[in-house]
């Protein structure tokens, strides 16, 4: 059973961590086996401005786990659950990533996933903060899948969710569940005119990954209206959800309420979907070379 | 303006061609500039069985256009419209493709697209009939885009629609509209239990191509319950539609009625979508090499 932790973030990182640990423990006790946080749950979404002070929010993960990773390793071991925890990582002085720690049910740090696609948009100034994940480096970056105690999983982070290439590579690596911590919301000035279409596009592209790859996709988003840089800020749209390999949304949280989504993911559906819609059988790998080009002009 | 021709197919190929030409001409007179047929509109969906006699339904397209291509070339020239016509192609004795002829508004055969991904499923025995399209051969196969009188377009055919790779490559080749002739329907025995989910997955994956690539996607499906091989046959689900670059469905036909869908496709939306959701900017082409592998095991 998946446990997706959707909530609002306050100003105090310690309180955010404590609340997330508490939700994770409650989810475990309610039967969750694979627990996933929202993106950068430890803080408000600081990327709304380019502020050098925010680098101080980062902590190490690999090879020497920092306090947040350690806290979830302890929880994972005690509760016998898999945890995907999204953390602002300092890899070295001046080198930062938007990273997820993948922790197995015995508390071992199975690996990390460093966000590969980094956005840069008004109020989402991530290219200022995060170096994109490396390809196939020794720290287990790049698109990957991990055999956990409760299934083979892959992780993508937020902006990655718009790239079919990312989902495909994660599925080809063996993932049967793709978990996607995210932080996405409405610009308050756009919400009335474009909010519904934006939200629907966000869910549609992720459902399409489930369909194309015959796997589960679980997106975990935050809620709350945050204005850490002043101005109108961002109203995070919540609506964390799980899509089955058929593309069906089998669970969805509210747009404005904290919620732990507990969702049964029957992995036999992966075999069922992939044999009845046998897309992996017919990929034209001889014809896909152009995908490593920027544009075919 | 796009004109998508959705209708049922009868037993007589001559009558199907005549009806499709008449619909195309009417669409042109109603303002359509780019007209697209459903997949293999000339016949009932003969792939419901493996029958050598059906090879006789094929005709040449390239380099010597057969009668169907010629008829649409005449229509295109007379009505000053672009036509995408889906035809069962005999390329050589014993060599057949599922092909679309791309005809410009002056009647010139701009190119052809030969279906790259070929399905094989109960009642969809296409691997018996169709050789998959070549990669980059002299006949303009492979994933392509063509500059027509009314915009740069790409074409995919049916099973291709499930492959994000196909849509991406077509967009990278420059397509701002991807047209997808298709023939998909319900097995009557599955319709009640799974029909809605199947249909929704079909629309969702194609909408996702519009979103991921910031382009229009137009799918043209047939209607009608066909039993050319006896048995329960296939109930084609119609519902031809156009998705805008935002992913919004801006027009959709009925499931069981012949319909010519006339849809304004404002190509300035491509620039708008691709700059406000700048996915092409951030593709990790250094990390996509695995997409040309069958599986990453």
**Would you list the domain boundaries of chain B?**
2-282
Query: For residue A147, what pLDDT is reported?
Result: 97
Contact indicator for B207, B243 with CB cutoff of 8 Å: yes
pTM greater than 0.95: yes
Contact indicator for A233, A48 with CB cutoff of 8 Å: yes
- Asked whether the beta carbons of residue B165 and residue A294 sit closer than 8 angstroms, the reply is no
C-alpha span between A46 and A30 (Å, rounded): 32
C-alpha span between B17 and B9 (Å, rounded): 9
Whether A39 is catalytic is yes
Query: For residue A140, what pLDDT is reported?
Result: 54
Residues 154-193 of A with CB under 8 A from B: 159, 162-166, 168-169, 172-174
C-alpha span between A218 and A104 (Å, rounded): 18
pLDDT tops 60 at residue A290: yes
pLDDT tops 80 at residue B140: no
What rounded mean pLDDT belongs to chain B? 96
C-alpha span between A22 and A130 (Å, rounded): 28
Most B CBs within 10 A among A247, A273, A278, hence the mutation to make, goes to A247
Most A CBs within 10 A among B98, B131, B276, B296, hence the mutation to make, goes to B296
Residues 218-247 of A with CB under 8 A from B: 246-247
Q: Helix (H, G, I), strand (E, B), or coil: what is residue B92?
A: strand
Where b means 16+ CB within 10 Å and e means fewer, B56-89 reads ebbbbbbeebbebbbbbbebbeebebbbbbbbbb
Give the side-chain half-sphere CA count within 13 A for A96: 17
C-alpha span between B228 and A233 (Å, rounded): 60
Whether B272 is catalytic is no
Query: For residue A136, what pLDDT is reported?
Result: 75
Helix axes A67-79, A13-29, angle to 10 degrees: 10
Tens of pLDDT, residues B152-185: 999 999 999 999 999 999 999 999 999 999 999 9
Looking at domain A2-282, its CATH architecture is 4-Layer Sandwich (3.60)
| Residue with the two structure tokens 């809605």 | B196
pLDDT tops 70 at residue B287: yes
- Asked whether the beta carbons of residue A142 and residue B287 sit closer than 8 angstroms, the reply is yes
Percent of chain A with pLDDT over 90: 98
- Asked whether the beta carbons of residue A291 and residue B165 sit closer than 8 angstroms, the reply is yes
- Asked whether the beta carbons of residue A286 and residue B121 sit closer than 8 angstroms, the reply is no
Whether B79 is catalytic is no
Phi, psi dihedrals of residue B147, rounded to the nearest 5°:
-80, 110
Question: Which of B132, B164, B208 is nearest residue A204 as measured by Cβ atoms?
Answer: B208
B291 touches chain A (CB under 8 A): yes
**Candidates B9, B47, B158, B199; catalytic one:** B158
C-alpha span between B279 and B297 (Å, rounded): 28
C-alpha span between B176 and A166 (Å, rounded): 23
């Amino acid at each position: 059973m998946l446990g997706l932790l959707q909530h609002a973030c306050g100003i105090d990182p310690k309180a955010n961590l404590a609340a997330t640990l508490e939700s994770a423990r409650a989810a475990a006790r309610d039967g969750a086996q694979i627990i996933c946080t929202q993106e950068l749950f430890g803080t408000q979404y600081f990327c709304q401005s380019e502020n050098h002070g925010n680098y101080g929010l980062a902590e190490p993960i690999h090879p020497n786990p920092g306090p947040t990773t350690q806290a979830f390793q302890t929880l994972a071991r005690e509760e016998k659950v898999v945890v995907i925890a999204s953390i602002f990582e300092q890899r070295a002085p001046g080198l930062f990533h938007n990273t997820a720690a993948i922790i197995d049910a015995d508390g071992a740090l199975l690996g990390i996933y460093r966000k590969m696609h980094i956005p840069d948009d008004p109020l989402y100034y991530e290219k200022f903060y995060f170096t994109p994940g490396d390809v196939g480096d020794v720290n287990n970056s790049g698109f990957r899948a991990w055999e956990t105690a409760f299934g083979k999983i892959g992780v993508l982070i937020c902006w990655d969710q718009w790239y079919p290439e990312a989902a495909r590579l994660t599925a080809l690596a063996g993932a049967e569940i793709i978990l996607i911590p995210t932080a996405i919301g409405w610009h308050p000035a756009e919400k009335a005119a474009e909010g519904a279409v934006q939200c629907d596009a966000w869910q549609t592209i992720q459902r399409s990954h489930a369909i194309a790859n015959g796997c589960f996709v679980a997106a975990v988003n935050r809620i709350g209206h945050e204005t850490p840089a002043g101005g109108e800020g961002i109203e995070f749209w919540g609506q964390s959800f799980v899509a089955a390999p058929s593309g069906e949304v089998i669970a969805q949280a509210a747009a404005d309420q904290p919620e732990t989504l507990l969702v049964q993911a029957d992995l036999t559906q992966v075999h069922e979907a992939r044999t009845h819609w046998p897309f992996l059988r017919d990929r034209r790998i001889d014809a896909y070379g152009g995908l490593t080009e920027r544009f075919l002009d």
